[in-house]
Structure formats: structure tokens, C-alpha cells
Chain A
Amino acid sequence: MTITVRIPAPLRPCTDGADELALEGRTVREVLDRLIASSHGLGERVLAGDGALRPFVNVYVGRQDVRGLQGLDTPVQDGDVLSIVPAVAGGRPERRRA
């Protein structure tokens, strides 16, 4: 099964600049394992030491966050699009009380 994997700009140094890759796999984990094996340093940016997704990284299959499905064991089908989505947050400093 061929899955299209979308790579966001901040992670493209790990994929030699590729913004999209076609990879095989039956689950999100299998696809990510192949992606990590073919990249440089992507594994440590996406997965924690215990093999779970890092808190600041989301993975979507189509429009669905895999954390709301079966996590990394979520099955994927031929033609699915898997997106790696960096968590984006921030904000101004807290107001100081007068």
C-alpha cells in the first residue's frame, strides 16, 4: 500500500528537502518506521524514547488526528495521505499585576 507522507518545512532538513514522500505500510507506525529509516534524525524529532509520538508532534491520516483513532497502530489504506504536523503555539508574556 502506498501512502503519501507530507513533511512540514521545519522537518525537511531530515528528508533532504523533500516535502512529500511515497512510502509503503499497513499502519501509521509502519509508514513512520520507513520514513525514519530513510531520513536523517527524523526519528528523534517525531518519536520519544519509548516509541510513542512526541507531545509536540501530531500525525494525521487525511483530516483525522491519529491520537483520536488507534494512535500509531491506526491502519492506513492505499492512497491515504499522512501528515506530520508540528504543534504550533506561543503567545505574549503574561501580564504583570500592578
Chain B
Amino acid sequence: MCYAACMLQLSAQARERLIAAARAAYPEESCGVLVGRPGRDVVSVEQTVPTRNASADRRRDRYVLDPDDFVRADGAARAAGLDIIGIWHSHPDHPAEPSETDRRAGWEGWSYLIAAVESGEVTALRSWRLVGAGFVEEEVT
């Protein structure tokens, strides 16, 4: 288990699926879970599973990951011998950096992959890990 900053390896298929979901949701935020294998220094993401954004009225600048979808994705991941190792979401027309809202709601022990979407196109994918009171960036490969 990796609780400090580490490297996030993203499979090509996982990257493409995330980008497609983020583009489709634009100008609203999209979100989902990172499914893969935890490691001591490197976490390997095999799937980026989209979930519903359950924010009632602020989907342009908020995401609330639907917990029903989380439970479903968690069950599928465990059945496949994998694990939910993080969360992804998009920032429409904003950099791929965690906001104060992200920090307040963050959990240590997960990677937080953020996609910047500018005018409908994903322009950056960056990953962060909450360590104590702040986010530390981890390399995405």
C-alpha cells in the first residue's frame, strides 16, 4: 500500500476511457474510480470506470461520486482481483490541480487523477495524493 506520493501508471485503454467520459460530460464535471493494483511505490491503473455525478445542481464546478456506483464498481473490481486505488474527475476550463474543495473532501490512501478540459478537449492529466493537510503530485506514466 502506497500512502506517500508515488507513480501512477495508466494503461492506454484506461486513459482513453477517461478522456472520452470527460469530453462527453463537458462543460460539466465527470468523475469515476481508478481500478487497478496498489503497489509500494507505483500504482497501476487498469480501468478508469465512469460513475454518475450525483451533484444535484452544480455539476459545472462540483462532483459527488454516486455511492451506489462506487459499491458496484468496488464489487466488480474485487471480483476481478483488483482494487479501487483512487478517484478521477474533470475540471472543465480549469487546470488539473486540486482545489480547496478537493482538499477538504480528500481521503489519504487514494490517488486523485484530475483531467483539465479546455473547450471540450482534455489538455492535461495530473495525479495527486493527499498527504497530511495537502496534496502532493505524483508522476503519471
A interface, CB within 8 angstroms of B: 6, 8-13, 17, 19-20, 56, 58, 60, 63, 65, 81, 83, 85-95
Contact = CB atoms under 8 A, between A and B. Distances in A.
Best-surrounded residue of A8, A10, A13, A88 (most CB of chain B within 10 A): A88
A56 B105 CA distance: 9
Contacts of A81: 75
A81 B94 CA distance: 39
Given A90-B99, A90-B102, A91-B89, A63 B71 contact: yes
B99 A93 contact: yes
Contacts of A85: 67, 70-71, 74
Main secondary structure on A side of the interface with B: mixed
12 contacts: A6-B74, A60-B67, A83-B71, A88-B31, A88-B107, A89-B62, A91-B58, A91-B61, A92-B92, A92-B94, A93-B101, A95-B61
B19 interface: no
